[in-house]
């Protein structure tokens, strides 16, 4: 059956698919080999410095070439395969660094997580009245800095270093429509698929690499299991599937303050929308202070918002 379907594909498309597979394998092999040939464990002298610089330039050149090939791909499946081919060498690099620095080993997360999300982003600092409005539900808090890849742009993909502890890649799977809570909120639903890989990337005061943008976040998070009632919200911890995570976040980037309200549902695909809709109805049972009604104009993902902000391209 597989061979028959392969033969039914147009010859041009078969060549593109085969080319993507071969390119992914070649680039992955080349990146891994170039990394392990670097003289990282040799005494530091002029010869070592030259070999190390040459190896890093080759490594960087292959990476840039592969990223641009991914961004220009016409087929999502091929783009996903090539993305994984680019991620694997970086994962090995981080694992090697963790071993060299005697950090405890971590497991590679290979299983993709499907989610249905909606987020609104507003300018300005979080108001006390809005924090009290969200405080009707038990919530945990955390603070972290995420660093997003903005240049080169990868259509349909969001790539970030989450808190310096994980490389996260999200693939956009389309929008199933609009979330609407009558008279309270309207926003575009977005379906995503996420992969997360352990990383030991920590900046040491040398600044952020070109094309990446740091975003500092202070999040208030409540988690709602299925059939949530008025008192069913849970602070972060063990939960049931499916569940909806609701966060009210203070954001600071490029010297500016922003605030966001986001819903993210995970679990069985056929229950994602109903779970999110039920949770949104519960959260918006009381209107936002000042009768503010979040709408489609404010509804977008972090990656889309960052890429559309004025000055993004010139700063990146």
pLDDT confidence tier of residue 19, bands split at 50, 70 and 90: low
Residues 159 and 301 in one domain: yes
pLDDT confidence tier of residue 22, bands split at 50, 70 and 90: low
For the chain, where are the alpha helices, taking DSSP H only?
2-8, 11-36, 46-71, 76-100, 128-134, 272-283, 302-308, 312-315
Asked if residue 107 is part of any domain, the answer here is no
Whole-number average pLDDT of the chain: 76
Residues 74 and 212 in one domain: no
**CA proximity to 211, closest of 91, 27, 68:** 68
Confidence check: pLDDT of 140 > 80: yes
Residues 118 and 96 in one domain: no
Coil, strand or helix: which one is 212? strand
Coil, strand or helix: which one is 199? coil
Q: For the chain, how many structural domains are there in total?
A: 2
Confidence check: pLDDT of 135 > 70: yes
Greater model confidence, 275 or 50:
275
How far is residue 289's CA from residue 46's CA, in Å, rounded to a whole number?
64
pLDDT confidence tier of residue 100, bands split at 50, 70 and 90: very low
From residue 216, alpha-carbon distances to 28, 146, 168, 195, 257 in Å are 32, 6, 16, 21, 10
- Residue 31 has a pLDDT of 59
Residues 145 and 28 in one domain: no
In CATH, what number is assigned to the domain containing residue 142? 2.40.320
Residues 261 and 160 in one domain: yes
Asked if residue 242 is part of any domain, the answer here is yes
Structure tokens at 281: 């109805």
- Residue 47 has a pLDDT of 55
Confidence check: pLDDT of 62 > 90: no
- Residue 105 has a pLDDT of 45
How far is residue 90's CA from residue 26's CA, in Å, rounded to a whole number?
15
Residues 152 and 245 in one domain: yes
Q: How many residues does the chain have?
A: 316
Q: Kindly report which listed range (34-38, 135-139, 215-219) carries the lowest average pLDDT score.
A: 34-38
Asked if residue 108 is part of any domain, the answer here is no
> Can you give 291-304 as a three-state secondary structure string?
HCCCCHHHECCHHH
- Residue 34 has a pLDDT of 58
pLDDT over 70, % of the chain: 54
Greater model confidence, 6 or 253:
253
**CA proximity to 250, closest of 145, 136, 117, 167:** 145
Asked if residue 105 is part of any domain, the answer here is no
How far is residue 62's CA from residue 82's CA, in Å, rounded to a whole number?
13
Confidence check: pLDDT of 142 > 80: yes
Residues 6 and 127 in one domain: no
Residues 160 and 60 in one domain: no
Q: Span 96-111, mean pLDDT?
A: 47
Confidence check: pLDDT of 99 > 60: no
- Residue 134 has a pLDDT of 97
Q: Cβ contacts of residue 273 below 8 Å, gap of 6+?
A: 116, 176, 189, 265
Q: What is the pLDDT of residues 146-161, one digit of tens each?
A: 999 888 888 888 888 8
Asked if residue 148 is part of any domain, the answer here is yes
Confidence check: pLDDT of 36 > 60: no
pLDDT over 90, % of the chain: 41
pLDDT confidence tier of residue 198, bands split at 50, 70 and 90: confident
What phi-psi label fits residue 221: left (phi over 0), alpha (psi between -120 and 50 degrees) or beta?
beta
Q: Which of 100, 125, 158 is the last residue of a domain?
A: 100
How far is residue 247's CA from residue 196's CA, in Å, rounded to a whole number?
20
Residues 72 and 199 in one domain: no
pLDDT confidence tier of residue 231, bands split at 50, 70 and 90: very low
Q: Write down the pTM of the prediction.
A: 0.65
The three-point CA angle 170-173-177 to 5° equals: 125
Q: What is the pLDDT of residues 246-297, one digit of tens each?
A: 999 999 999 999 999 999 999 999 999 999 999 999 999 999 999 899 999 9
Q: Which of 48, 79, 100 is the last residue of a domain?
A: 100
From residue 51, alpha-carbon distances to 38, 54, 96, 151, 294 in Å are 7, 5, 19, 28, 55
pLDDT confidence tier of residue 166, bands split at 50, 70 and 90: confident
How far is residue 263's CA from residue 258's CA, in Å, rounded to a whole number?
17
User: Which residues span the domain enclosing 133?
Assistant: 113-315
Confidence check: pLDDT of 233 > 60: no
Confidence check: pLDDT of 197 > 80: no
Helix axes 46-71, 76-100, angle to 10 degrees: 150
Asked if residue 227 is part of any domain, the answer here is yes
Confidence check: pLDDT of 73 > 70: no
């Amino acid at each position: 059956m597989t061979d028959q379907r392969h033969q039914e594909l147009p010859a041009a498309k078969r060549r593109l698919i085969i080319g993507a597979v071969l390119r992914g394998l070649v680039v992955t092999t080349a990146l891994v080999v170039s990394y392990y040939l670097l003289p990282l464990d040799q005494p530091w002298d002029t010869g070592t410095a030259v070999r190390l610089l040459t190896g890093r330039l080759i490594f960087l050149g292959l990476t840039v070439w592969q990223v641009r090939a991914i961004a220009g791909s016409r087929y999502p499946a091929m783009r996903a395969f090539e993305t994984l081919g680019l991620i694997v060498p970086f994962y090995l690099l981080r694992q090697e660094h963790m071993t060299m620095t005697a950090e405890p080993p971590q497991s590679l997360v290979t299983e993709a997580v499907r989610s249905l999300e909606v987020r609104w982003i507003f300018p300005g600092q979080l108001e006390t009245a809005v924090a009290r409005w969200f405080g009707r539900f038990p919530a945990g808090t955390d603070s972290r800095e995420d660093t997003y890849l903005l240049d080169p742009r990868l259509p349909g993909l969001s790539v970030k270093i989450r808190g310096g502890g994980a490389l996260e890649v999200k693939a956009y799977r389309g929008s199933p429509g609009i979330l609407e809570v009558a008279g309270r909120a309207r926003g575009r639903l977005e379906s995503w698929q996420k992969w997360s890989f352990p990383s030991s990337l920590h900046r040491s005061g040398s600044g952020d690499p070109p094309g990446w943008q740091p975003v500092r976040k202070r999040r208030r998070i409540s988690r709602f299991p299925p059939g949530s009632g008025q008192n069913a919200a849970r602070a972060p911890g063990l939960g049931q599937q499916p569940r909806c995570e609701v966060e009210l976040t203070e954001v600071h980037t490029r010297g500016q303050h922003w605030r966001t309200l986001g819903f993210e549902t995970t679990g069985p695909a056929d229950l994602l929308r109903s779970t999110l809709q039920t949770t949104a109805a519960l959260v918006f049972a009381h209107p936002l202070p000042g009768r503010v009604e979040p709408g489609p104009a404010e509804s977008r993902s972090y990656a889309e918002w960052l890429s559309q902000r004025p000055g993004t391209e010139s700063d990146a």
